[in-house]
């Protein structure tokens, strides 16, 4: 199949084949050679929420003093040092979702982005719309997907959460320990765990379940199609400016890299004792890396502008054997002063932030439509489950903001929202809606107004 440059248009090359390959956002007029370009190009703002189960050890995650952050970063964030001038710590908040419940793991995740009070023992699922979905609804129709919900750990196995005395509403408990993003009361948005499913949703038509022959045809078609598009892109270079030609090459190279990675991924298997759990990849390093690259592709192609990602579900008990030990995350988070457990907990947290640094690097390396980078347009909100997992604290939470969101946020500073650490974090979410140009002071039933000290 050969495509003449004059007929090159977004996704047109694939529609006849029953698939959809997204192309990166270009300066106006690129996909219609000869058309007059707009006088100025604009690049939209974007959001990634990055959820950390079990929270962080505070003294190695946030600076020890308030104000401008000079010198070395806290040890957990060492890998983010190249972007120290793009980091903002905002502490002093409380996640009110647990509402006094003795085990905040049961509902803190569910309230991280909604600011609602939750009852994990309720017979029915409640909650409200989440911060990310306020933006997705405000930007509805501007991208193919309003939002993407991703995770590196499957939802909680509800049967394992059951209360033998019947005192727990399993449906609500399951929802609040698994879902970060919400359309509204009783309407959580499930996260996709399989990178292949994410890729197929974004860049290829899904096959019928169980149709191995169709799957084989899809894989073969995708490879040959990318080869064809690469050849046409080479011929198309003569009609492009240097900047846009470079972006087409970068996009196609990244597409092939992701395909190669997914095609060669290791098989995942469950240990016998985990037979009741849902399937999760055994190679967490590879899984997180794939998810991060897919996030970059989705934003670069303007397939969506809103992404939520959780490394794990609430009270995640995943082990990280590649770090040299087999202790589960939640187990070591309750270190109770044990030097060994605390050291291992810090190692998990530092590894997680090392992976996040790779995502930041990828965003910075990806051009946007105005000659800048995706990092210029994107806010990464690092949201912890708890402030202090060892004692189940949900007050004095510290949120890390990465990126200045086109100059709308102060960076390189550590701010405190309150002296007692109990300012409702819903006020921070409202303040961030202001940063995105979508103020909604009616969002969430907790708190009073918007916290805006981090706005430039």
What is the tens place of the pLDDT at every residue in 366-397? 999 899 999 999 999 999 999 988 888 899 99
DSSP calls for 264-311: TPPP----GGGTTSPP--S-HHHHHHHHHHHHHHHHHTTS-SEEEEES
Q: Which range among 166-180, 352-366, 420-434 shows the weakest confidence by mean pLDDT?
A: 166-180
Instruction: For 379-390, give one letter per residue: b (16+ CB within 10 A) or e.
Output: bbbbbbbbbbbb
Mean residue pLDDT across the chain:
81
Task: Read off the pLDDT of each residue in 127-143 and give the average, rounded to a whole number.
Answer: 97
Tell me, letter by letter, the H, E, C secondary structure of 181-195. Answer: EEEECCEEECCECCH
| Cβ proximity of 134 and 81 under 8 Å | no
Say what the pLDDT of residue 360 is.
Answer: 98
**Tokens (6 digits) for 47:** 């959001």
What is the pLDDT, as a whole number, of residue 124?
A: 85
Question: How confident is the model over 171-177, as a mean pLDDT?
Answer: 89
Give strand pairing partners of 309: 50, 150
Answer whether CATH 3.40.720 is correct for domain 48-202+299-435: yes
> Taking residues 10-35, what's their average pLDDT?
42
Bigger pLDDT: 437 or 165? 437
| pLDDT at 416 > cutoff 70 | yes
Between 352 and 125, the higher pLDDT residue: 352
* pLDDT tens, residue by residue, 50-71: 999 999 999 999 999 999 999 8
CA end-to-end span of the chain, whole Å?
51
Task: Taking the CA atoms of 289, 367, 360 and 418 in sequence, report the sign of the dihedral they define.
Answer: negative
Which tokens in the block code for residue 301? 């192609």
Instruction: Report the alpha-carbon distance of residue 289 to residue 283 in Å, rounded.
Output: 10
Find the mean pLDDT for residues 349-356: 98
pLDDT value of residue 41: 61
pLDDT at 169: 56
What 3-state class would DSSP assign to 231? helix
Residue of 439, 454, 300, 303 lying closest to 377 (CA atoms): 300
Mean pLDDT of 97-117: 92
The residue with greater pLDDT, 232 or 84, is 84
Phi, psi (deg, nearest 5) at residue 256 = -70, -35
What pLDDT sits at residue 121?
83
pLDDT of 201: 85
Calculate mean pLDDT across residues 415-425: 97
pLDDT of residue 255: 62
To the nearest 10 degrees (0 to 180), the angle between helices 195-203 and 242-263 is 140
Please say whether the beta carbons of 396 and 92 come within 8 A.
yes
Q: Token pair for residue 207?
A: 């096959």
H/E stretch holding 173 reads: helix 170-178
Check residue 19 and give its pLDDT: 40
Report the pLDDT value the prediction gives residue 281, as an integer from 0 to 100.
Answer: 52
Of the segments 40-44, 193-197, 203-207, 355-359, which one has the largest average pLDDT value? 355-359
pLDDT for position 42:
84
Sign (positive/negative) of CA torsion 390, 392, 395, 401? positive
Domain boundaries of the chain, sorted by first residue: 48-202+299-435
pLDDT surpasses 50 at 304: yes
Distance from C-alpha of 428 to C-alpha of 438, rounded to nearest angstrom? 14
Q: What pLDDT is attached to residue 142?
A: 94
Distance CA 362, CA 257 (A): 13
User: Which carries the bigger pLDDT value, residue 297 or residue 229?
Assistant: 297
Question: 3-state class of 147 per DSSP?
Answer: coil
In the chain, helix, strand, coil percent, each to 5? Answer: 40, 15, 45
* Predicted pLDDT of residue 284: 92
Residue 239 pLDDT grade (very low, low, confident, very high; cuts 50, 70, 90): confident
Q: Which of 38-42, 151-155, 255-259 has the lowest mean pLDDT?
A: 38-42
């Amino acid at each position: 199949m050969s495509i003449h440059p004059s007929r090159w248009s977004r996704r047109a090359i694939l529609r006849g084949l029953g698939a959809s390959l997204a192309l990166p956002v270009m300066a106006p007029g690129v996909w219609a050679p000869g058309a007059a370009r707009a006088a100025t190009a604009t690049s939209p703002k974007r959001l990634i929420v990055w959820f950390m189960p079990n929270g962080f050890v505070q003294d190695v995650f946030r600076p020890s003093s308030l104000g401008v952050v000079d010198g070395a970063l806290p040890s957990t964030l060492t890998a983010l040092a190249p972007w120290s001038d793009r980091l903002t710590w905002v502490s002093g908040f409380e996640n009110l979702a647990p509402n006094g419940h003795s085990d905040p793991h049961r509902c803190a995740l569910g309230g991280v982005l909604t600011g609602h009070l939750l009852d994990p023992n309720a017979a029915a699922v409640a909650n409200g719309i989440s911060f990310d979905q306020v933006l997705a609804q405000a930007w509805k129709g501007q991208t193919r997907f309003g939002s993407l919900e991703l995770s590196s750990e499957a939802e909680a196995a509800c049967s394992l959460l059951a209360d033998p005395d019947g005192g727990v509403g399993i449906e609500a408990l399951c929802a609040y320990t698994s879902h970060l993003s919400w359309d509204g009361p009783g309407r959580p948005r499930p996260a996709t765990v399989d990178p292949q499913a994410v890729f197929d949703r974004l860049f290829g038509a899904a096959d019928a379940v169980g149709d191995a022959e169709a799957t084989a045809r899809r894989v073969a078609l995708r490879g040959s199609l990318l080869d064809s598009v690469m050849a046409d892109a080479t011929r198309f270079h003569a009609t492009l400016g240097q900047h846009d030609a470079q972006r087409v090459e970068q996009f196609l190279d990244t597409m092939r890299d992701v395909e190669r990675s997914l095609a060669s991924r290791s098989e995942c298997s469950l240990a016998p004792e985990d037979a009741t759990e849902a399937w999760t990849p055994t190679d967490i390093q590879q899984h997180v890396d794939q998810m991060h690259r897919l996030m970059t592709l989705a934003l670069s192609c303007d397939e969506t502008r809103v992404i939520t990602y959780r490394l794990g579900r609430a009270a995640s008990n995943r082990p990280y054997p590649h770090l040299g030990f087999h202790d589960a995350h939640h187990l070591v988070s309750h270190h109770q002063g044990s030097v060994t457990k605390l050291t291992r907990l810090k190692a998990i947290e530092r590894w997680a932030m090392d992976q996040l640094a790779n995502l930041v690097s990828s965003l910075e390396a990806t051009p946007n439509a105005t000659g800048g980078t995706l990092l210029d347009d994107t806010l990464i909100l690092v949201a912890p489950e708890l402030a202090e997992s060892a004692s189940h604290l949900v007050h004095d939470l510290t949120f890390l903001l990465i990126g200045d969101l086109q100059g709308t946020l102060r960076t390189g500073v550590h701010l405190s929202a309150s002296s007692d650490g109990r300012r409702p974090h819903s006020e921070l979410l409202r303040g961030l809606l202001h940063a995105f140009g979508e103020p909604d002071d009616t969002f969430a039933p907790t708190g009073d107004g918007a916290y805006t000290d981090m706005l430039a």
